[in-house]
Structures are given as C-alpha cells and as structure tokens.
Amino acid sequence: MSEWWRGGVIYQVYPRSFSDSNNDGVGDLPGVTARMDYLRDLGVDGVWLSPFFTSPMHDFGYDISDYTGVDPIFGTMEDFDALVAKAHEFDLKLVIDQVYSHTSDQHPWFKESRKSHDNPKADWYVWSKGKDDGNPPNNWISLFGGQAWSWDTKRRQFYMHNFLTEQPDLNFHNAEVRAAILDVARFWLERGIDGFRLDVANFYYCDKLLRDNPAKKAGGAGEFLRPYWHQRHLHDRSQPENLAFIEELRALVDSFGEKDGRDRMTVAEIGSDDYIGRSVEYTEEGRLHTAYNFLLLENGPLTAHLIRDALERWTSDTAWPSWSFSNHDVPRARTRWGGEDAGDAFANLLMGVLMCLRGTIFLYQGDELGLPQADVPFEKLKDPEGIRFWPESLGRDGCRTPLPWHGGKANIGFSDVEPWLPMSPEHDRLAVDRQVQQPDSTLMLTRRFIAFRKASAALRLGSIRFVDTPEPILAFWREHEGERLLCLFNLGPNAATLPLPEGALSVQDYGLPGEVVDGEAHLPAWGGLVLSA
C-alpha cells in the first residue's frame, strides 16, 4: 500500500471555525467542502476533521451524545458524505476524530447506566460507591480542575470523569463497551474515511482497583499551575490493558485495507509525563500507525536543543513519529514561542522548521497564515477550561477563533453575522485573500514548503542526523537513498554565520532568507537554508 501518511502533511480542520456556509456564525461541514480547493492548493496530503458528532457542546464536540450522528450545527450525514466524496475527488485523505475514553452525560448509554446498579449498561461506566465516610474512592483529579469523581443522586454512586463532570468515562474493562466502540469505528470506516485521530488514546482504561495516584514529588505544590499536575498518573491512564484494545482497533482498520486495498491510518494523541516513551509504546508494530504528543506543544522556549532533544529521543526503528507546533488545545506557536510581538518572519521560520522534520506533520488551521494567538476577553470566553482557570488558562479560545478569509470585510469574511468567537482585528491583514496576492506571505511560503517536502524523499522518509552547532542555530541532515539535504535555521533575533562542510552544496529556494557566501551560511534573524549535497 502507499502509506500516504508516512512523512505526509495532514491539515487539522476545527469545523466550528473553518468556514461558515449558512451564515449562522458557526463553521460547518458544507463550509469545509466548499473550501476543499483551498486545501488542495495548499498541497497537504490529508485533512484531520475535529469532532462534528451530535453533542450538547459542553466541551465543543468532545462530549459526544451520538457517536454515529452529525450534530445539526455542522449539517447532516449527507453533508458528511459529500465532504468525503469531494476530498477523494481532490485526492485528499480524510481522517476523523474519535473520542472513545468518555461520552457526554447525555449519551443514551450513560442515561441508562445511571438508572440503577443492575440495568444492562450498569457497568458501562466507571462507578464506585466511594469511601465509608462519603468521600470519593480515591484522590484522582480532573484535568479541568477538582476531583475526577461526581456524585450521582439517582444511582447514589460516584462516576469518574477525567475532564468535565458532563464527560463520564467509559469502563473499557467491560467487553460490551469495547465491542460497542469497535462498532463505532466500523461505522465510519464503512462510510469511506481514511483514518482516525484518537483523542487521549492512552486514557481508555483506568486501574481496576481504583488505587490512589502518588504525588509527583514531595512538597513544592505551588510550582504547579493546576492540581492535575501535582500527581504521577500511574492509575488513571496508560494502563497495560489499553494496548490490547489498541491492537484490536488496529486489526479492524487493517481489515478494511485488506478488503479494498486502500491505505488507512491511525494517529494517537498521547498525554503523558513520558512524552516520547509513551508515544513509541503506542506505535510499535501491530499498534497505531503514528502518534503525536505535547512535547513541542507545551514546552518552551524555542531552542535548537528543544527540537533536537525531541527528535533524538525517538530512537525506535519501527515506530513512526508525528509532530505539530499548534493545535486546538494550546496557544498558537507564533505567540507561544515568539511572544506577542513576534513578526511574520518568525511565523515563516516555524513553518520552515516544521516542514523539514522527520515524521508525519500535523498543520493546525491558521498556522499556514501565520496567525498569532487571538486575545479573547473574559466576557466572550466559551471554553469551560479557559473560564475556570482564567487568566492563566491554556488559551484554547484564543487559538480557536475563526479563520480570516477576506480582509476588510465584516468578520474578515468568515460570516455575515457575529461568529461564535470574536474575530481578532490583527488577523485582518493576514486574511487568505490578502496573502495569496503576496508571494512572500506565510501562506505562499507554506505552499512552497509543502511542495518541496512532497518532492523530496529525504524530507518525507529520510533519516535525520543533527549537527553540533551553538544556540540558536538548528542544523541537521536529512538523507534517503542518495538524496542528502542540510537544513539550517537561525532561531534567534540576530544574524549568524556558520561554516559549511566541504563539497558542492546547492541552495533550495523556498522562501526563508539566507545565503551562502565563500563557504559560509549567512542566516539573518529567523532565517534558514536548505542545501542539497
């Protein structure tokens, strides 16, 4: 099979904020279909579609009340089928989000489960009577703050939730639950999708004995921003049983490829203290095709050491990595790493670095435009996590604001009515229609870089070997079947020079500033060069 995903570029669409086809202020599936030519012209290999399933939207689609339904906000199942058809017409793959660790509390499964201790779905969720003194069964903490347990007055037991109280965790120790989830996967595979992005893929199982998590370290609790980070999460995620289910899911996905010859893929989102080790564990042979983690999404500042350390720690010869600098859960990389005053040159540099890394690349919508993090005032926040931890939140609303399509128009061309999140005024000059007219814009540079990556086996499939250079210079070789590329990037605000190895080196022209003079690479601030040897 083609393994289209290996070394490819997959673009993340957050449907609420991508394109609004019916002017209700919320993006939708017909909007994505209508913009498929934009994604084709960008040159990506596939699209990852964030949740569009039926949901009360407490967590904006990650609280699902019907795994096989399309929420009316986004359209209909016919709209989804049309989107799949259009993607395939344009030779684009479609990967959809799957949220298996928890459902909405409005899901029929949970509504039945909470009725009694002995109904057919009584054991489909993680329930406990708690301690004799009325406290929850253990010390587990929700990522969104507070205890990971809520009391249900009807059933008179606690149920577990790693996230919002409205997101109860499924009990994967129950074989019926596992079978039901595999049926969900089968439904979408039969609908023609090309793969799954698995939300919090290592969270499906928890410890059957519900043992306490140990403290991360003695004392010093004040240094952690939120309570969840105070613990070592030994018992509420990454359980060994999880891997057996992952292998079951992979076998199901592969069975469809064996029937029709189409290459489908699975990518895990991994949340763990051991970013790389856990990602490798979940992508070894027979498990998932690839995984991305939060090492480059949560950590900083941006240094050559940060990038080099992340990639060199991935030592497996069989597991395949994925990398992203931004997504819908973290502040945009331009602002997170560059600060509020980061300019377009910094955004361009980030794109150059990302497109030269070894692995599959996930490109979050708007990063191809170099969008900075939007400033959403408190009164307009929608994200429950952002509201709870304001002002020191992860900034999920600020990275989810709608895409600017037409500069100078109302709501920058996203919608004629006020969008669900406010448009950022500073995004107007970065609108799509403005950037397509500017050869040196971030959008046009992104198109060139993706085309360059597609044409280079060394960038898509090759090995990576880092060169010892002083900060802030990042240098590495990419090599595959005789093609050798030397990638050089200046991650700092001052010009730098670097002696080049002997031999004929030709500059690949893709748009970052930099030149070779008398055997030296001259890199201005935020500059870069890719040289073929």
**Contact at 8 Å (CB) between 128 and 137?**
yes
Q: Which two tokens mark 279?
A: 């990602």
3-state class (DSSP) for residue 440: coil
3-class DSSP string for 79-136: HHHHHHHHHHHCCCEEEEEECCCECCCCCHHHHHHCCCCCCCCCCCECEECCCCCCCC
Q: Which helix (H) or strand (E) holds 473?
A: strand 473-480
End-to-end Cα spacing for the chain: 30
Q: Which two tokens mark 393?
A: 């939140």
Euclidean distance between CA atoms 117 and 157, whole angstroms: 9
Sign of CA dihedral 445, 447, 449, 455: negative
Number of neighbouring beta carbons within 10 Å of residue 233: 22
Q: Is there a catalytic annotation at residue 79?
A: no
**Rg of the chain over all Cα atoms, to the nearest angstrom:** 23
Pick the catalytic residue: 199, 329, 344, 383?
A: 199
**Contact at 8 Å (CB) between 438 and 461?**
no
Q: Which two tokens mark 111?
A: 């509504």
Tell me which amino acid residue 17 is: S
Q: Is there a catalytic annotation at residue 269?
A: yes
**Contact at 8 Å (CB) between 333 and 367?**
yes
E strand map for 129-218: 149-152, 157-160, 195-198
| DSSP secondary structure string for all residues of 60-86 | TTSS-SEEEEE-TTT--HHHHHHHHHH
Burial of 211 (0-12, 13-18, 19+ CB in 10 A): middle
Euclidean distance between CA atoms 196 and 189, whole angstroms: 9
Q: Which two tokens mark 506?
A: 């030709």
Euclidean distance between CA atoms 231 and 140, whole angstroms: 8
Euclidean distance between CA atoms 518 and 522, whole angstroms: 10
Which among 196, 452, 476 has a CA at the least distance from the CA of 310? 476
**Contact at 8 Å (CB) between 266 and 292?**
no
Pick the catalytic residue: 59, 63, 71, 269?
A: 269
Angle at 59 between CA 96 and CA 333, to 5 degrees: 70
Which among 336, 455, 350 has a CA at the least distance from the CA of 398? 336
3-class DSSP string for 265-333: EEEEEECCCCHHHHHHHHCCCCCCCEEEECHHHHCCCCCHHHHHHHHHCCCCCCCEEEECCCCCCCCCH
Q: Tokens 């990302």 belong to which residue?
A: 354
Active site residues: 199, 269
